[in-house]
Amino acid sequence: MAEVLQPPDYLSASSMTTFLQCPLKFKFSRIDRIKEPATEPMILGSFVHEILEEFYKASADERTFDTARSIGRDLWDSKWAKEADEVGVRDINQFRWKAWWCIENLFTLEDPQQMNLAGVETKVDDTINGVRVLGFVDRYLHDDDGNVVAADYKTGKVPLPKWSADKVFQIMVYVLMLEQMLEQPVVSGEIIYLKEGKVVAYEPTQKRRSETIQTITSVRKEVEDSCEAGAFQTKPSRLCDWCHYKPICPAWAK
Protein backbone atom coordinates (compact mmCIF):
# COMPACT_ATOMS: atom_id res chain seq x y z
CA MET A 1 0.00 0.00 0.00
CA ALA A 2 1.36 3.42 -0.99
CA GLU A 3 2.34 5.83 1.75
CA VAL A 4 -0.20 8.57 2.42
CA LEU A 5 1.51 11.93 1.96
CA GLN A 6 0.82 15.21 3.73
CA PRO A 7 -0.36 17.95 1.38
CA PRO A 8 1.12 21.44 1.87
CA ASP A 9 -0.73 23.84 4.14
CA TYR A 10 -1.16 26.34 1.33
CA LEU A 11 -0.72 26.79 -2.39
CA SER A 12 0.81 29.65 -4.34
CA ALA A 13 0.35 30.75 -7.93
CA SER A 14 3.76 29.32 -8.83
CA SER A 15 3.20 26.01 -7.05
CA MET A 16 -0.14 25.55 -8.78
CA THR A 17 1.51 26.30 -12.12
CA THR A 18 4.13 23.67 -11.28
CA PHE A 19 1.43 21.10 -10.54
CA LEU A 20 -0.34 21.82 -13.82
CA GLN A 21 2.98 21.48 -15.63
CA CYS A 22 3.83 18.20 -13.92
CA PRO A 23 2.32 16.77 -10.70
CA LEU A 24 5.48 14.79 -9.91
CA LYS A 25 7.60 17.93 -10.16
CA PHE A 26 5.22 19.50 -7.63
CA LYS A 27 5.77 16.53 -5.30
CA PHE A 28 9.56 16.71 -5.57
CA SER A 29 9.51 20.45 -4.93
CA ARG A 30 6.64 21.10 -2.49
CA ILE A 31 6.24 17.83 -0.61
CA ASP A 32 9.63 16.12 -0.71
CA ARG A 33 11.30 19.54 -0.40
CA ILE A 34 14.06 18.68 -2.85
CA LYS A 35 15.36 22.15 -3.48
CA GLU A 36 16.06 23.25 -7.03
CA PRO A 37 19.36 25.10 -7.41
CA ALA A 38 19.12 28.75 -8.30
CA THR A 39 19.79 29.66 -11.93
CA GLU A 40 21.15 32.80 -13.53
CA PRO A 41 17.70 33.95 -14.77
CA MET A 42 16.25 33.38 -11.29
CA ILE A 43 19.01 35.42 -9.65
CA LEU A 44 18.62 38.18 -12.22
CA GLY A 45 14.89 38.38 -11.58
CA SER A 46 15.29 38.45 -7.80
CA PHE A 47 18.01 41.11 -8.02
CA VAL A 48 15.88 43.41 -10.19
CA HIS A 49 12.80 42.84 -8.02
CA GLU A 50 14.69 43.82 -4.89
CA ILE A 51 16.10 46.96 -6.50
CA LEU A 52 12.59 48.06 -7.47
CA GLU A 53 11.17 47.16 -4.08
CA GLU A 54 13.70 49.41 -2.34
CA PHE A 55 13.46 52.07 -5.04
CA TYR A 56 9.72 52.53 -4.59
CA LYS A 57 10.08 52.77 -0.84
CA ALA A 58 11.97 56.03 -1.41
CA SER A 59 10.10 59.31 -1.42
CA ALA A 60 8.85 60.45 -4.83
CA ASP A 61 11.48 63.17 -5.28
CA GLU A 62 14.26 60.64 -4.63
CA ARG A 63 13.17 58.22 -7.36
CA THR A 64 15.87 59.07 -9.89
CA PHE A 65 18.39 57.15 -12.00
CA ASP A 66 21.07 57.96 -9.44
CA THR A 67 18.97 56.57 -6.59
CA ALA A 68 18.30 53.39 -8.54
CA ARG A 69 22.01 52.99 -9.31
CA SER A 70 22.92 53.54 -5.68
CA ILE A 71 20.39 50.96 -4.50
CA GLY A 72 21.63 48.51 -7.12
CA ARG A 73 25.27 48.95 -6.10
CA ASP A 74 24.51 48.56 -2.40
CA LEU A 75 22.43 45.43 -2.96
CA TRP A 76 25.07 43.99 -5.27
CA ASP A 77 27.87 44.52 -2.78
CA SER A 78 25.91 43.30 0.24
CA LYS A 79 24.15 40.28 -1.27
CA TRP A 80 23.86 39.65 -4.98
CA ALA A 81 27.56 39.49 -5.92
CA LYS A 82 27.83 36.44 -3.69
CA GLU A 83 24.61 34.95 -5.06
CA ALA A 84 25.81 35.40 -8.64
CA ASP A 85 29.14 33.79 -7.80
CA GLU A 86 27.43 30.79 -6.19
CA VAL A 87 25.26 30.30 -9.26
CA GLY A 88 28.32 30.45 -11.47
CA VAL A 89 27.57 33.56 -13.48
CA ARG A 90 30.47 33.76 -15.92
CA ASP A 91 30.06 37.25 -17.33
CA ILE A 92 29.36 39.51 -14.37
CA ASN A 93 29.43 42.68 -16.47
CA GLN A 94 26.83 41.25 -18.84
CA PHE A 95 24.70 40.10 -15.91
CA ARG A 96 24.74 43.54 -14.29
CA TRP A 97 24.08 45.21 -17.65
CA LYS A 98 20.97 43.03 -18.12
CA ALA A 99 19.74 44.02 -14.67
CA TRP A 100 20.29 47.72 -15.29
CA TRP A 101 18.63 47.47 -18.69
CA CYS A 102 15.47 46.28 -16.91
CA ILE A 103 15.63 49.26 -14.54
CA GLU A 104 16.16 51.71 -17.39
CA ASN A 105 13.19 50.27 -19.24
CA LEU A 106 10.97 50.99 -16.25
CA PHE A 107 11.74 54.70 -16.72
CA THR A 108 10.57 54.45 -20.34
CA LEU A 109 7.26 53.01 -19.16
CA GLU A 110 6.47 55.44 -16.36
CA ASP A 111 7.76 58.41 -14.42
CA PRO A 112 8.61 56.91 -11.02
CA GLN A 113 8.31 60.32 -9.35
CA GLN A 114 4.67 60.49 -10.43
CA MET A 115 3.79 56.98 -9.26
CA ASN A 116 1.79 56.76 -6.05
CA LEU A 117 1.93 53.07 -5.24
CA ALA A 118 -0.43 51.89 -2.52
CA GLY A 119 1.47 48.67 -1.91
CA VAL A 120 4.90 47.21 -2.73
CA GLU A 121 5.72 43.51 -2.28
CA THR A 122 2.41 43.02 -0.49
CA LYS A 123 1.83 39.69 1.21
CA VAL A 124 -1.55 38.14 0.49
CA ASP A 125 -2.67 35.15 2.54
CA ASP A 126 -6.31 34.12 2.40
CA THR A 127 -8.65 31.42 1.14
CA ILE A 128 -10.26 31.24 -2.28
CA ASN A 129 -13.22 28.90 -2.39
CA GLY A 130 -11.87 27.20 0.75
CA VAL A 131 -8.32 26.85 -0.57
CA ARG A 132 -5.57 28.69 1.31
CA VAL A 133 -3.39 30.66 -1.08
CA LEU A 134 -0.30 32.68 -0.22
CA GLY A 135 1.70 35.05 -2.37
CA PHE A 136 3.39 38.43 -2.75
CA VAL A 137 2.04 41.08 -5.11
CA ASP A 138 4.89 43.13 -6.57
CA ARG A 139 2.85 46.32 -6.52
CA TYR A 140 -0.60 47.81 -6.69
CA LEU A 141 -1.96 51.32 -7.02
CA HIS A 142 -5.15 53.32 -7.36
CA ASP A 143 -5.72 54.87 -10.77
CA ASP A 144 -7.10 58.37 -11.38
CA ASP A 145 -10.62 57.08 -10.76
CA GLY A 146 -9.64 55.39 -7.50
CA ASN A 147 -9.72 51.90 -8.97
CA VAL A 148 -7.15 49.28 -7.95
CA VAL A 149 -4.59 48.09 -10.50
CA ALA A 150 -2.35 45.12 -9.62
CA ALA A 151 0.99 44.55 -11.32
CA ASP A 152 3.71 41.93 -11.47
CA TYR A 153 7.28 42.41 -12.72
CA LYS A 154 8.87 39.93 -15.13
CA THR A 155 12.46 40.01 -16.37
CA GLY A 156 11.99 37.44 -19.12
CA LYS A 157 10.66 37.85 -22.65
CA VAL A 158 7.04 38.54 -23.45
CA PRO A 159 5.60 35.11 -24.31
CA LEU A 160 3.42 34.44 -27.29
CA PRO A 161 -0.27 34.44 -26.34
CA LYS A 162 -0.43 30.64 -26.60
CA TRP A 163 2.31 30.34 -23.95
CA SER A 164 1.02 33.02 -21.59
CA ALA A 165 -1.60 31.02 -19.65
CA ASP A 166 0.55 30.62 -16.54
CA LYS A 167 1.30 34.36 -16.45
CA VAL A 168 -2.39 35.23 -16.79
CA PHE A 169 -3.30 32.72 -14.10
CA GLN A 170 -0.75 34.18 -11.69
CA ILE A 171 -1.89 37.78 -12.07
CA MET A 172 -5.55 36.73 -11.80
CA VAL A 173 -4.77 34.93 -8.52
CA TYR A 174 -3.27 38.18 -7.23
CA VAL A 175 -6.33 40.10 -8.41
CA LEU A 176 -8.65 37.82 -6.44
CA MET A 177 -6.43 37.92 -3.35
CA LEU A 178 -6.11 41.71 -3.38
CA GLU A 179 -9.85 42.14 -3.78
CA GLN A 180 -10.44 40.09 -0.67
CA MET A 181 -7.76 41.92 1.31
CA LEU A 182 -8.80 45.43 0.23
CA GLU A 183 -12.53 44.70 -0.04
CA GLN A 184 -12.43 46.63 -3.28
CA PRO A 185 -12.60 45.55 -6.94
CA VAL A 186 -9.38 45.29 -8.95
CA VAL A 187 -10.00 46.57 -12.46
CA SER A 188 -6.79 45.44 -14.13
CA GLY A 189 -3.96 42.98 -13.70
CA GLU A 190 -0.75 44.14 -15.40
CA ILE A 191 2.40 42.24 -16.21
CA ILE A 192 5.38 44.57 -16.60
CA TYR A 193 7.96 42.93 -18.85
CA LEU A 194 11.05 44.91 -17.92
CA LYS A 195 13.42 43.25 -20.38
CA GLU A 196 11.39 44.45 -23.35
CA GLY A 197 9.86 47.55 -21.78
CA LYS A 198 6.30 46.41 -22.34
CA VAL A 199 3.16 46.25 -20.20
CA VAL A 200 0.48 43.66 -20.92
CA ALA A 201 -2.79 44.32 -19.12
CA TYR A 202 -5.52 41.77 -18.49
CA GLU A 203 -9.05 42.70 -17.55
CA PRO A 204 -10.38 40.51 -14.73
CA THR A 205 -13.47 39.45 -16.64
CA GLN A 206 -16.01 37.19 -15.04
CA LYS A 207 -14.80 34.40 -17.29
CA ARG A 208 -11.19 34.81 -16.12
CA ARG A 209 -12.29 35.02 -12.49
CA SER A 210 -14.39 31.86 -12.76
CA GLU A 211 -11.63 29.96 -14.58
CA THR A 212 -9.05 31.01 -11.99
CA ILE A 213 -11.24 29.93 -9.06
CA GLN A 214 -12.01 26.65 -10.81
CA THR A 215 -8.31 25.99 -11.41
CA ILE A 216 -7.38 26.74 -7.79
CA THR A 217 -10.14 24.44 -6.54
CA SER A 218 -9.32 21.59 -8.90
CA VAL A 219 -5.57 21.76 -8.26
CA ARG A 220 -6.11 21.58 -4.50
CA LYS A 221 -8.38 18.55 -4.90
CA GLU A 222 -5.92 16.82 -7.22
CA VAL A 223 -3.06 17.51 -4.81
CA GLU A 224 -5.02 16.04 -1.92
CA ASP A 225 -6.12 13.02 -3.99
CA SER A 226 -2.54 12.40 -5.11
CA CYS A 227 -1.28 12.65 -1.51
CA GLU A 228 -3.92 10.21 -0.32
CA ALA A 229 -3.01 7.77 -3.09
CA GLY A 230 0.71 8.34 -2.45
CA ALA A 231 1.31 8.79 -6.18
CA PHE A 232 1.81 11.78 -8.46
CA GLN A 233 1.61 11.53 -12.24
CA THR A 234 4.35 12.58 -14.61
CA LYS A 235 3.72 14.80 -17.64
CA PRO A 236 6.70 14.46 -20.00
CA SER A 237 7.09 17.47 -22.26
CA ARG A 238 9.72 19.67 -23.88
CA LEU A 239 10.06 21.40 -20.50
CA CYS A 240 11.68 18.25 -19.11
CA ASP A 241 14.98 19.26 -20.71
CA TRP A 242 15.20 22.17 -18.25
CA CYS A 243 13.89 20.27 -15.21
CA HIS A 244 16.27 19.76 -12.28
CA TYR A 245 14.41 16.57 -11.33
CA LYS A 246 14.81 14.81 -14.67
CA PRO A 247 17.62 12.48 -13.39
CA ILE A 248 15.31 11.08 -10.68
CA CYS A 249 12.10 11.10 -12.68
CA PRO A 250 10.71 7.64 -13.51
CA ALA A 251 9.50 8.91 -16.88
CA TRP A 252 13.15 9.28 -17.90
CA ALA A 253 14.58 6.23 -16.14
CA LYS A 254 16.80 4.19 -18.45
Over residues 157-187, the pLDDT tens digits come to 999 988 899 999 999 999 999 999 999 999 9
Residue 254 pLDDT more than 70? no
For residues 22 and 36, the answer to whether their CB atoms sit within 8 Å is no
97 and 139, same domain (yes or no): no
Look up the domain containing 45 and give its range: 40-113
Long-range contact set of residues 14-19: C-beta below 8 Å, sequence gap at least 24: 14/170, 16/169, 16/173, 16/215, 16/216, 16/219, 17/166, 17/169, 17/170, 19/219, 19/222, 19/223
Residues 65 and 135 in one domain: no
Q: State pLDDT tens for residues 106-149.
A: 999 999 999 999 999 999 999 999 999 999 999 999 988 889 99
- Please, how many CA atoms are within 13 Å of residue 129, restricted to the half-sphere of its CB? 16
Boundary-marking domain end, from 113, 131, 148: 113
Same-domain status, 133 and 188: yes
pLDDT-based confidence at 101, cuts 50/70/90? very high
pLDDT exceeds 60 at position 242? yes
pLDDT at 4: 81
Confidence (pLDDT) at 44:
97
The count of structural domains within the chain is 2
In a domain, 6, yes or no: no
Residue 239: inside a domain: no
| Any domain includes 10 | no
Residue partners of 79: CB distance under 8 A and separation at least 6: 50
pLDDT of residue 2: 62
Q: Check residue 146 and give its pLDDT.
A: 86
User: Which tens digit of pLDDT belongs to each residue from 186-197?
Assistant: 999 999 999 999
Task: Please determine, for residue 94, whether its predicted confidence score (pLDDT) is greater than 70.
Answer: yes
125 and 155 share a domain? yes
> For the residues 11-15, what does the mean pLDDT come to?
97
| Same domain, residue pair 80 and 135 | no
What average pLDDT does range 34-59 have in this prediction? Answer: 96
- Give the integer Cα–Cα distance in Å for 254 and 251: 9
Ordered strands of the 117-128 beta sheet: 117-128, 131-142, 148-154, 186-193, 198-202
pLDDT of amino acid 145: 87
Please check whether residues 196 and 141 belong to one and the same domain.
Answer: yes
End residue of a domain, out of 196, 213, 230? 213
For residue 241, being part of any structural domain is answered with no
Asked whether the beta carbons of 17 and 170 are under 8 A apart, the reply is yes
Q: Could you tell me if residue 16 is inside a domain?
A: no
Does residue 20 sit within a domain?
Answer: no
Q: Is residue 240 part of a domain?
A: no
Q: Do 209 and 226 touch, CB atoms closer than 8 A?
A: no
- Look up the pTM and report it: 0.93
Q: Tell me, what CATH number does 190's domain have?
A: 3.90.320.10
**Do residues 66 and 123 share a domain?**
no
Q: What is the pLDDT of residue 234?
A: 95
Does position 31 have pLDDT exceeding 90, yes or no? yes
Is residue 185 situated within a structural domain?
Answer: yes
Phi, psi (degrees; rounded to nearest 5) at 140? -150, 155
Same domain, 54 and 140: no
What's the number of CA atoms in the CB half-sphere (13 Å) around residue 126? Answer: 17
